[in-house]
Amino acid sequence: MAMRRRYRFPVTTVIEAPAANTSPRPRRRRIIVRVVAALVSLAVLAGAAFGISWLIYIHRYQPLGLGNTGGLVRSVSVVDDGLGDEAYLVRGPTGTRATMMYSLRNDGPFDVTILGPESYPLGQMSFTWESINSEAAGLPAMFAASHAMPARLRSHQQIRLFVTVTKPRCTPGGSNVISGLPVRWKALGIHHVTQVDLTGGVGGRIALCFGAKALRLLPDHR
């Protein structure tokens, strides 16, 4: 009986490593995240820069100036030095209350609220106001109908501002002159005090105390 031979062949087992994930999605996601983070950072920086610029703007905002009308109400005379420089002389003894009218304009893009005068060392001062389109006949009638502060002054508009001062005690030959109205006002949530130049429009400086030289400029001086 023939015998069968068995042959053993070597068996090689090959284990393949899992294929590397070559999908572009994770890399694309990382790029998107970085771009978004960069855009957010730029937006934050731009917002901060705008906020700082806005704060500087609203604190420096100053749109007030004298308008194109003015006049005398009581206990005041106007003098002119011949060179176009006028002054309002408060005539009378110590304690005399004198009133003159200026127009106050708002040249800015935002409405403002006029609160009143800041304290002034040379004499007591108060403000009242009336519409620039008042139909009252004459300044005394307008002053009688004028309103207490505050006053809303619209953008690019004017109001009539009646300024009443009290004459202080004056020394012989002394001179006390108000060259700017100390106006308290607010806009955009910020309070301000502005010295409105009385030589920059219709009207003049307010002379509370003055010497004989100023009196000689009066038309009725004898």
Could you report the average pLDDT of every consecutive run of 10 residues in the chain (222 residues)? 56 56 66 74 69 64 89 82 68 91 94 89 82 81 92 95 92 85 93 88 82 65 46
In this prediction, residue 100 carries a pLDDT of 93
For residue 39, tell me if it sits in a domain: no
Domain count, the chain: 1
For residue 3, tell me if it sits in a domain: no
CA–CA dist 142, 70 (Å, integer): 12
SS3 content of the chain, % helix, strand, coil (to 5): 20, 35, 40
For residue 174, tell me if it sits in a domain: yes
* Nearest alpha-carbon partner for 114 in 100, 97, 99, 102: 102
In this prediction, residue 10 carries a pLDDT of 60
In this prediction, residue 12 carries a pLDDT of 58
- What's the start-to-end Cα distance of the chain, in Å? 170
For residue 158, tell me if it sits in a domain: yes
In this prediction, residue 215 carries a pLDDT of 64
- Looking at the DSSP bridge assignments, the partners of residue 104 are 66, 159
In this prediction, residue 91 carries a pLDDT of 87
CATH code for position 180: 2.60.40
For residue 25, tell me if it sits in a domain: no
For residue 182, tell me if it sits in a domain: yes
In this prediction, residue 222 carries a pLDDT of 45
For residue 46, tell me if it sits in a domain: no
